[in-house]
Structure 1
């Protein structure tokens, strides 16, 4: 969609918000992002390794851009259903596997084992291009000695429900997987490793994206133990002892075995938010990027956004209306005793944000909103997110929907689906995490 063809916000506010989301996603597409960072082919062979929700699209982009006469092979792992359609005539040189996310499965463990095998026997004349994007922590999980896959799956599930920030979760996960925290890069030595990453984490810290399989890790075994204790994540005794002794330590910055590495962020949340802001401005609407690194409970973040939106709507401050407020980052949803036993938790951060925002705004006139995950999947649902209008609560009441009860049991899509306001996009084949847009007219 050209920047100057966004739907007019007064006639079609919902269409405008959808279009801004599409602009943000398009900015993070691998084909347009990785080209400037590709080096010339090496004297030896080029091996591509990687994992993440964008891995299939990143591999396809690399195949399209790499010289046809230069050797290219490899293996990447993406989420089930996230392999993009293949362009006609594009030769397949990189194998793409599918595995489970957000909790790892045997397919992901098998792929991780194969990646480590492929990395063996490389020379200094070869080149490894590591394609990294969000989701790789689960997709490329190979348990360390003393830990079974079932135990690792339980740890992932408990972390996801704990409310831990992504940096905390990945600190522990880095120390429990044989491919994470720079261990994949170690397996590639002495070949140089070029990491091309699409960021889905606040602050764009490459060692956190997909648990940093190809970069050094500054966190320690003691840090990992502290995370487990903070969130009451039970670990097998053998793993606790290995963490206490430092036996599961990851390679640190300055490690000579990782010399000659290069890392490039090819797409980030901030770039996508700025692209959406530029599109809005080109269409004559003021746009303000609040932050690309917002963390915290989704429902609490929603309250802050609602307070700001109401201030703009009622007092024309701190921003003049009409305007759109944009934000990103990675919020959390803590599943705990507040949710009734056995109640469904349908939806993820985006849906929970929108439902809490509706309750906080209480039908504030002139405020519309969209929140979505840029990978097209919010939590474990097939929805990307949800839309909010000034009459959302009124329409819900007419259908007998209890917004507070549904929020209490984390059932955002039990609320938005009957309203026709759940956002369905399908996998987008990229991932720069949360996207939120509030339109105040």
Structure 2
């Protein structure tokens, strides 16, 4: 199974059933009068959030979905059956966008949440409805209306409180393995994670948060280098960013330049996302001589001019990870309390998320157009940037 976080589909609601033209005809009952029944309403199309799903791959293979039509009315004042509604399951965290109007129809962020995306057609009226004192034998009926048809884009963004940023091999996957039950692939050779990984970090009883490991960025990602920037949209829902940096890179590169490169790519993707609270996490301190720990790490902080929170850890050995996750938990709880106590703070947060969504959508669309132009220039390029095995892990608390 592949990890697919975007899909385009066509949904069509059912047509309403037509009204019936009929007159009562029974032995010994002269002038029975009209008895044509109404048609049935067409079925509507709904999307429903389902926590058992974590990819939109099913909608890559079946793109058109139609609800049932309403049945026409019949004689003896029989009403046609209503068309059955069509309910399409999608992963929790799916945003629904109308491709024709670019309107965001809804955001399915809770299990069982349901969104109507296409209204079924309304029923037609039978001739019984047109009977009056001056029209005793009406021959008028009305037809059922057409159901709505919509072109939709489904965008899946993982639901996480904390997002991990960093260059490939900064130790993000090792960190998420260390603090949660998630088991993303790690190895003793350099490579980058290809899809987002999720893990639930349990700090203590009834205290936990979700952390997302986003595939590593490289310099030039906004121009399509490496895996590009499309996975950055999964950080839109996060409250806090942890920027992991390898303090002792195997290739001798500068940790300071690595931090600056990631920050630059983040700003090009979304200025609002780049302004999110971001903590610096200096990883792999066990690779530096113990006597030089403090001086080496402080030199990085000083050269960056970093004035935010700084943590020194070793994701492999677990050194320093407990104080970090405890600090993250306290910060998340404080933010939640502020939003609960002050509706204005909650609205500001919602507005920031909407703005990040808009910026991310615009940037990804521009990136998509650029890749499409590149493919047209090179017809032999059959690379599919969604062609990866799924590695998203939802770990229980």
**What's the TM-score once normalised by structure 2's chain length?**
0.23
Q: Relative to total residues, which structure has the larger helix share, 1 or 2?
A: 1
